[in-house]
Structure 1
Amino acid sequence: MSRTVTYFAILDPEKSPGVANKIDQTLHGLELLEYKTSKAFTPFATRGRHFAFALSVLVSRSDLLVIRNTVFTMFLLFPVIILKRLTGARVVVDLPIPNRSVPREIWMSGLSLPGKLLRIAVIYLNFPWSLWSANRILQYSEESPWFSLGNRSRTKLVTNGISVDLIPLRKEVPSWPSDTLVLVGVAALAPWHGFDRVIRAIALHQKKERAARGVQVKFMVVGQGRSRDELDRLARELEVEDLVDFRGVLRGSDLDPVFDEAHLAVSSLGLFRNDFVTASVLKAREYTARGIPFVHASRDPDFEPLPPFVYEVGNEEAPLDIEDLIEWYTEFRKTGFRTQDIREYASERLDYLEKVRDYFE
């Protein structure tokens, strides 16, 4: 008799395709371990969504329950998880970002001061005790001593994975040398993605390029999010709006021509804004599976030592050095490194098949 697993999340897949894609790939990896998989998403618009979310976990009959951490619901799940464990279920809490970074994110938001203080207080009251009932906590970056209290033995510091066979290899590589270097960044646009660093770098480079008649740089931004309007405004203020192309949300095969057009992809470049030194950026893994080199900031154990298809920049506010990036890319193309070579790295180091057994069992 096959084992069963359900992944629970408060999520609107249409608004957060990256998260939904990660969940699908996690379940695909578990299917390869002969689990019968399902997912239970509670939309944000659901009335009483926190109670509805807790109820969906309570009524589940799966052997393995994977719960995506939600900072305002876990206290309701504490007794639910105890009940599920008493029935023999195994419960894993998937904690995509450390709780220590959430108060900082709230403080940087546009909420009123009372709203910020209330939410931050709730987080400190909810954690760490609300996670004490879980069998395991999957953590992707370091947690603070307070939020780790009582949870160190059940916490496993892990890295994100992907199901490589679900991600298509890009079919074309744009020619180089060229008069235009094309970059692409895919994200649910937020400050920690750091795409503003690319836009500011393009503006600085454009001033030099006009005088030197050198290589022009274009940036395709795929996705929506709270930083979309801010990035658009920045591009206009710096007079590079013609070089920053906002493509909106693209999924599935609609993404393929975008990656075929780009020379390089852009990973998350603003993780310092959440006080991250180490991170496991999902988009970096997806870029690798597609076979496209990319720009990267912050430490990531899965990319150590740094592979030749990754251009590393500082995890800081400074704009990218476009001239150095162009020089690096020129040398990279001379190596003859193929898209298939990059994808093979993903198959060997990043595939969920190599990770899920250790993470969930």
Structure 2
Amino acid sequence: MKIAYFLQLNMGPGTGVYKKVLSQARAWQQLGHVVTLFVVTKRPDVLHDLQHSNLGLQAQVETYSGSRLPAPFDGRLQAMARLVQRLEGERPDVVYTRQDLYLPPLQRLLTRQRVVVEVNTNDLGELRSASLPFMVYYRATRGLLLGRAAGLVYVSYEIAKQPHYAKFRPPHTVIGNGIALEDTRPLPAPTAGPPRLVFIGHAGQPWHGVDKILQLARLRPDWRFDLVGISAQDTPEDAPANVTLHGHLDRASYERILEAADCAVGSLALHRNSMQEASPLKVREYLAYGLPVILGYLDTDFLSGAEFILRLPNTESNVKDTLGDIERFVRSWQGRRVPREVAARLDYAHKEQERIAFFASLLESAGAREHSATRPRRVP
């Protein structure tokens, strides 16, 4: 199968989305398929990494200025149009992309190619804080992408059932996010010291619930907390003395922090996005390193729960209401790690077999329709 991975990629090397895209593409290659990345970006580091690093992937990259001017004046439309033209020359069997803002060059792609769209979030819930002009345009055009896709891949069952997604009729499947297990190593558990919790995230994401982690730190001043990806200017209030804000760190640096932690914390405020279920990349990374996790939502790959996951109610007061449960969970995991085989089911080597099978089913259905359309009719 010949697969083109087409996307706007403005999250730099080392971020969860960037690592996911490369891991998916590598997994498809390892399964014997021909894969090319077609990337539109405004980031020089993305261009350099895709073209000059030893990634083992074919990549076609178009850049634009990234100025403060809105599209089309920032050059994005022209860059995307050039990339679509280059993609057409490759004649792929399937074009895979991530749900994003619909822009006019996508029209040509959707009408001439078999496009499968990955849906990563409850978009209308997440974008409620966007500007009015953006939301008007987004709502008016989102159906041009979702309604014309050959197939949809949702990262959670909840998203697939949302009315504003369920109304679109392309074939679909649900595949939670995964992890490149080969990029991680089992970490030994700390054997002494007070309980220590770690969180990895990004600033400006209210559904992460960083404010709730700070609340927990105040309620348990004898515990230690490490927040990676969060700086002092990113918090709505001063962090207590038992919290260390590390800001952005590379993998080697945050691995040392994970090794010192007893438990990890996932998103605690997904209710702020009107969501109850998710499969965040960072939680898969925690589990791959062997850390048990505290969550505020239902995980797509562990719908029945698991001993290494403490699921809090998805409410604003969940930390305060379950403080005793949190304390018992953390102390029960001190000196222990999650077995490596747990993460094996989350590995891209497993996840991407499901995705490829979905691509194959779309190709088979399309072939059957074409055969039926060209078959001579029997004359009675």
Is 2:251 aligned against 1:252? yes
Identify which of 118, 127, 151 aligns with 1:94.
118
Q: Which residue of 1 aligns with 2:214?
A: 199
Q: Which residue of 2 aligns with 1:184?
A: 198
Is 2:16 aligned against 1:18? yes
Moved over 6 A (4+): none
Correspondence list, 1:260-299, <5 A: 260-299=259-298
Secondary structure of 1:234's match?
Answer: coil
Task: Give the conservation status (yes or no) of the 8 Å contact 2:102–2:144.
Answer: no
Is 2:355 aligned against 1:359? yes
Q: Which residue of 1 aligns with 2:317?
A: 318
Secondary structure of 1:137's match?
Answer: strand
Partner letter of residue 41 of structure 2? P
Partner letter of residue 355 of structure 2? Y
Partner letter of residue 190 of structure 2? P
The CA deviation string for residues 144-196 of structure 1, in whole angstroms up to 9 with x for no partner, is 323443x23323232112221222222x31125x3x22111111231111121
| 1:99 positional shift | 2.7
Q: Which residue of 1 aligns with 2:374?
A: none
- Greater CA drift, 120-129 or 54-63: 54-63
Q: Which protein, 1 or 2, shows the higher relative CO under an 8 Å CA cutoff with sep ≥ 6?
A: 1
Partner letter of residue 342 of structure 2? Y
Partner letter of residue 326 of structure 2? L
Name the CA shift for 1:296/1:59 in 2 (closer, same or farther; >3 Å). same
Name the CA shift for 1:331/1:309 in 2 (closer, same or farther; >3 Å). same
Task: Give the conservation status (yes or no) of the 8 Å contact 1:128–1:148.
Answer: no
Partner letter of residue 307 of structure 1? A
Q: Which runs of 5+ in 1 are unaligned?
A: 107-115, 207-215
Identify which of 53, 58, 70 aligns with 2:85.
58
Aligned length: 319
Partner letter of residue 313 of structure 2? G
Distance in 2 (CA, whole Å) between partners of 1:166 and 1:36 is 22
The CA deviation string for residues 220-267 of structure 1, in whole angstroms up to 9 with x for no partner, is 111159xx6242x4234xxx1x22211121223222211111111111
Secondary structure of 2:128's match?
Answer: helix
| 1:332 positional shift | 3.5
Task: Give the conservation status (yes or no) of the 8 Å contact 2:122–2:273.
Answer: no
Partner letter of residue 229 of structure 1? Q
Q: Which residue of 1 aligns with 2:237?
A: 234
Q: Which residue of 2 aligns with 1:212?
A: none
Q: Which residue of 2 aligns with 1:213?
A: none
| 1:290 positional shift | 0.9
Q: Which residue of 2 aligns with 1:345?
A: 342
Distance in 2 (CA, whole Å) between partners of 1:5 and 1:167 is 27
Distance in 2 (CA, whole Å) between partners of 1:132 and 1:124 is 13
User: When the two structures are superposed, what TM-score results if normalisation uses the length of structure 2?
Assistant: 0.76
Identify which of 222, 226, 229 aligns with 2:228.
222
Partner letter of residue 52 of structure 1? A
Identify which of 98, 105, 113 aligns with 1:68.
98
Distance in 1 (CA, whole Å) between partners of 2:260 and 2:249 is 14
Partner letter of residue 353 of structure 1? A
Partner letter of residue 123 of structure 1? Y
Secondary structure of 2:253's match?
Answer: helix
Task: Give the conservation status (yes or no) of the 8 Å contact 1:69–1:94.
Answer: yes
Task: Give the conservation status (yes or no) of the 8 Å contact 1:235–1:244.
Answer: no
Task: Give the conservation status (yes or no) of the 8 Å contact 1:200–1:319.
Answer: no
Task: Give the conservation status (yes or no) of the 8 Å contact 2:3–2:34.
Answer: yes
User: When the two structures are superposed, what TM-score results if normalisation uses the length of structure 1?
Assistant: 0.80
| 1:305 positional shift | 2.3
Distance in 1 (CA, whole Å) between partners of 2:230 and 2:115 is 32
Q: Which residue of 2 aligns with 1:112?
A: none
Distance in 1 (CA, whole Å) between partners of 2:143 and 2:279 is 22
Identify which of 5, 9, 34 aligns with 1:7.
5
Q: Which runs of 5+ in 2 are unaligned?
A: 43-64, 67-73, 360-380
Distance in 2 (CA, whole Å) between partners of 1:4 and 1:224 is 40
The CA deviation string for residues 198-219 of structure 1, in whole angstroms up to 9 with x for no partner, is 101211333xxxxxxxxx1222
Q: Which residue of 1 aligns with 2:106?
A: 77
Q: Which residue of 1 aligns with 2:164?
A: 146
| 1:298 positional shift | 1.0
Task: Give the conservation status (yes or no) of the 8 Å contact 2:116–2:150.
Answer: yes
Secondary structure of 2:332's match?
Answer: helix
CA RMSD of aligned residues (A): 2.4
Q: Which residue of 1 aligns with 2:34?
A: 36
